[in-house]
Structure 1
Amino acid sequence: MVAVAALGFLVVLEFAARRYGLPGPITNQVREVVFAPKSGGLLYAAMALMMVVLTWRQRCIAVAAAIGIDLAFSLVRWAVGAETTGGHPFGNGALWVILGCAVIAVTRRTGPERALLLKGVGLGLLLVTGRKTGDTWLLITSKTRPAVLDQYVATADHALGNPSWLVGRAVTATGPVGFNVLDVVYGQLAVAAVVVALYQLRGVAVERRFPGHHLVRTFLVIGLLGPAFYMIFPVVGPIFAYGTGTDYWATVSLWSPDIPSSGHWAVADLWPQTPSPINVPLPMPFDEITPRNCMPSLHTAWAVALFVHSRKGPRVLRYAGTFWLVATLVATLGFGYHYGVDLIAGVVFALTVEAALRSFDRGWDRSGIRLVAYGAAVFAALLVSYRFLPLEMAEHPWVYGPLLLLAMTSVVYGYVRTTTAWEPRATPRGPAAPAGVRAAAGTRV
């Protein structure tokens, strides 16, 4: 049933993209079987997820096959003079291996072994398909929402002291080194999530079953539900609405020209030097290219989910999860992609989704329902306040700023308190009994 629903959703998105004369998620994924993929690293990360169901010998064979196929593709492209502009020179091999394992599962496996291998293939393909689905969602937001609400969000952001402007100036001051580090963290968030997921799924090949809940589930649900709010609350971000788009970073020779400039649509060239003025906000028209992907900040939501799931890992994984969360928050603000209020909404959204998935996995009870309902209510209240109270928030920052932080903190506290109570408590162990007593206790009568 879930597979049928997912396929139907992909078909709908495919037709929606075709309506605007562009390929949809299915077409884009099929193209990467032969043509240079958009993200080779993501395909290899997907293959790594798929390999959690394989033995070590099978994993070595799969990796060798993927590398060999990529080398063959590179030689063919070099021989025919094909270019990889807009794509990576590697990654096709990983996709071929994933598809090959699907064929093996259907033709060479039976029973539980077939089911387990197909689950591994599905897990890997879900990661890749989720990326393609997100790209199509962003296209739809830019085509169907001609007006954006950045003036409302920027005005509300005065309650927090305009953090995007502050962090934007700080990132600019760090020069190319600081920018490039943050750029890698921001761009490779999915790969970092795969590392955490691999730790969580490390026992699948031995136990021959998947755990009830893991990071990949949260990542996919966040990516599926989040863009729906982009349609309700379209926002492009300060670098586009109050700056010169990518032209700003091009002037300091730090930016990759993947996103076209939208500076002539901006209110004024203010970001990050001058905070936006406090005026009565209005919807503003914008181009049909820039995604309306700010409210809530899904990069923040994904980073929060990664942080939460890394808490039970070894020390190095916990440190990495903390670093990725902090660096992602700095990057989302410092690159001008988000306002501060976007991040608050992203934190609440992530914890609400995570609580819902954990409640579903363990069986809905009163505490789970109460936590999810409270998180959803706070999230809705945030969106409503950003839309209808931005001027009041900007004019009374000492009231609304702490209230926004308190609302987010209350969800964090509720999540920690509730989920801690869900954890099984270890039975205290008393002092060991003498050997003679233990022997007597184990003697049958």
Structure 2
Amino acid sequence: MSLWATAGVVALGCLIALEVVARRSAGIPGPLTEQAKETIFAPKPGPLYGGLALMMVVLTWRQRFIAAGVAIGIDVVFALVRWAIDAEVADGHCFGNGALWVMLGYAVIALTRRSGRERVLLLKGVGLGLLLVMGRQTGDTWLLITSKTRPTVLDQYLATADHALGNPSWLMGRIIQATDPIGTWLLGVVYAQLAVAAIVVMLYQLRKVRTEGRFPRHHLVRTFLLIGLLGPGIYMLFPVVGPVFAYGPGASGTGGVQWAVANLWPHTPPPLSAPHPMPYDEITPRNCMPSLHTAWATAIFIHTRTGPRILRYAGTFWLVATLGATLGFGYHYGTDLVAGVVFALTIEAALRSFDRGWDRSGIRFVTYGAIVFVTLLVSYRYLPVEMAEHPWVCGPLLMLAMASVVYGYVSVTGLRQPTAAPARRQEAQPEPV
């Protein structure tokens, strides 16, 4: 069985397992059920057309125009039917069914009308698009599971440890309020459209797939999906809702201040005291530790380093703006961001080492990155008071730990893409997603 087929089987197994976990532990439908609904019902806002765009990298230009036209046509029909019967839509969003139907249709075409390398390439494209779409459903399911199965959160521990960094979320929150509405609007767009930025980079990296007849050895899709797959597991171990929910007004309908320690964010940093686990509602996701927005933005930054100048500038801007948004909107503590950078670099290095073959330097760095990440989590949980009482020591130590991982990553990889294997080897061992 090829590596692509193995990856497909593993992905399907993970989705089935998550479906079972969601129904048994949280009493909610899982990602397979939710995705099946979107073939007929109005889809949630998400990367359905982004998935279609990724799939189309394996098509000719004529086939791309046809696929896009068919998808839009199907969506127009669905929208007219919903309007005629006055059907409800998710957050006013009613487009995306067409993209899903076209991807599924090309899967059928690949199995029934194609053969040999053309079938394999088309199936890889369909799989890539569907993986991105299912990644959204998987993430949504995980967030619901965290809110249903983790009744207490550890925000007080991170808020205490954040004293060592100078309470950056409180500082950025005040800056955002001072620059409202321009700052709020700009960072809001960056934060909400992170997936769009990632898809742009993915399309650039995969632009030659059709002409070369193969995928590059390493690209952003794999890193993006693996971060989203592993991150929620840490959410379950370290449930945190974020400053705006634990120390501020929260969001409408989530319980807000009645669940918060106090209404302190962003004007009054929390007082230094012994932290305790605190109960929270069953609606708000526990999705702060580590900051996956930071991890994804870091991955985008890395993968734009080998692109043209405009892409490099865009990657840098998106990283800086994402860091500002995650803190300024009160969604994350500074400690989350430090962990998110380490998390992303460790995963990225592991994938690159897998591509080029594991060597001593790759093994050492991945091991080191994992140790630093675990050490950060343990320190946040068991030493937050000590960190807060000695900010001039612990703050620089946190930044030094992150900087050491950044330095190690650059030393090992040089921010270069792994060298592609010879064409003959590619035929014998299809490159992984």
Instruction: Tell me which of 275, 294, 298 is aligned to 2:292.
Output: 298
Q: What amino acid is the match of 2:384?
A: P
Alpha-carbon displacement from aligned partner over 1:394-415 (angstroms, at most 9, x marks no partner): 1110000000000000000110
- Offset at residue 176 of structure 1 (A): 2.6
In the TM superposition, what whole-angstrom CA distance separates every residue of 1:193-215 from its partner, at most 9, and x where no partner exists?
Answer: 01001100010000111111100
Residue of structure 2 in register with 1:71 after alignment:
76
Q: CA deviation at 1:3?
A: 1.8
Identify the match of residue 91 of structure 1 among 96, 107, 110. 96
Q: Which of residues 99, 106, 109 is equivalent to 2:111?
A: 106
Aligned CA distance change for structure 1 residues 424 and 4 (closer, same or farther; 3 Å):
closer
Q: 1:190 aligns with which of 181, 188, 195?
A: 195
Mapped partners of 1:140, 1:368: distance in 2: 34
Q: Distance in 1 between matches of 2:90 and 2:300?
A: 32
Are the equivalent residues in 1 in contact too, given 2:162–2:388 (CA < 8 A)? yes
* Residue aligning to 1:367: 361
Which amino acid counterpart does residue 319 of structure 2 have in structure 1?
A: L
Counterpart residue identity of residue 153, structure 2? V
Aligned residues: 413
Q: Would you say the 8 A contact 1:28–1:132 is kept in 2?
A: yes
User: For residues 356-414 of structure 1, what are the alpha-carbon distances to aligned partners after superposition, in whole Å with 9 as ceiling and x for unaligned?
Assistant: 00000100000100110111111111111111111111111000000000000000011
Equivalent positions of 1:261-280 (< 5 A) are 261-280=255-274
Q: Indicate the residue corresponding to 1:146 in structure 2.
A: 151
Letter in 1 for 2:38: E
Answering whether residue 337 of structure 2 is matched by residue 332 of structure 1, we say: no
Greater relative contact order (Cα 8 A, min sep 6): structure 1 or 2? 2
Q: 1:23: which partner in 2? A: 29
Of residues 33, 43, 46 in structure 2, which corresponds to 1:37? 43
Question: 2:138: which partner in 1?
Answer: 133
TM-aligned CA deviation for residue 422 of structure 1: 6.9
Q: Distance in 2 between matches of 1:424 and 1:383?
A: 31
- Cα distance, 1:178 vs. partner? 1.9
| Amino acid in the other structure paired with 2:282 | E
Superposition deviation, residue 301 in structure 1: 0.2
Q: Which amino acid in the other structure matches residue 260 of structure 2?
A: A
- Who is 1:12 aligned against? 17
Instruction: Determine which of 278, 282, 303 is the counterpart of 2:276.
Output: 282
The 2-side partners of 1:214 and 1:199 are apart by 10
Q: Measure the CA separation in 1 of the matches of 2:140 and 2:256.
A: 19
CA distance in 2, matches of 1:9, 1:236: 25
Report the CA distance shift for 1:5/1:421 in structure 2 as closer, same or farther (over 3 A): closer
Q: Deviations over 1:202-261 (max 9, x none)?
A: 1000011111110000000000011111111111101111112115xxxxxxxxxxx634
Superposed CA RMSD: 1.4
- Find the partner of 2:66 among 61, 68, 92: 61
Deviations along 1:44-92, one digit per CA (max 9) or x if unpaired, are 1110000000011111111111111111111111122223243512111
Contact 2:235 2:287 in 1 (8 A): yes
**Is 1:409 matched with 2:403?**
yes
Matched, 1:307 2:301: yes
1:380-391 counterparts in 2 under 5 A? 380-391=374-385
State the 1:421 CA deviation.
Answer: 8.9
**Contact 1:36–1:87 (8 Å) recurs in 2:** no
What are the residue-to-residue correspondences of 1:148-297 with 2, within 5 Å?
148-247=153-252, 260-297=254-291
| TM-score calculated relative to the size of structure 2 | 0.93
The one-letter amino acid paired with 1:373 is T
The one-letter code matched in structure 1 to 2:35 is: Q
**Amino acid paired to 1:378:** V
The residue type paired with residue 362 of structure 2 is: G
Q: Is the 8 A contact 2:49 2:96 kept in 1?
A: yes
Write the letter of the residue equivalent to 2:142. W
**Structure 1's 217 and 329: CA in aligned 2 closer, same or farther, altered over 3 A?**
same
Measured in 2, the distance between the counterparts of 1:334 and 1:264 equals 22
Of 13-22 and 3-12, the range deviating more from structure 2: 13-22
User: Is the 2:217–2:418 Cα contact (8 Å) retained in structure 1?
Assistant: no
Question: 2:342 is aligned with what amino acid?
Answer: V
Which deviates more, 400-409 or 16-25?
Answer: 16-25
Aligned counterparts of 2:232 and 2:256: Cα–Cα separation in 1 = 21
TM-score for both structures, normalised by structure 1: 0.90
> Which has the higher mean CA deviation after the structures are superposed, 413-422 or 294-303?
413-422
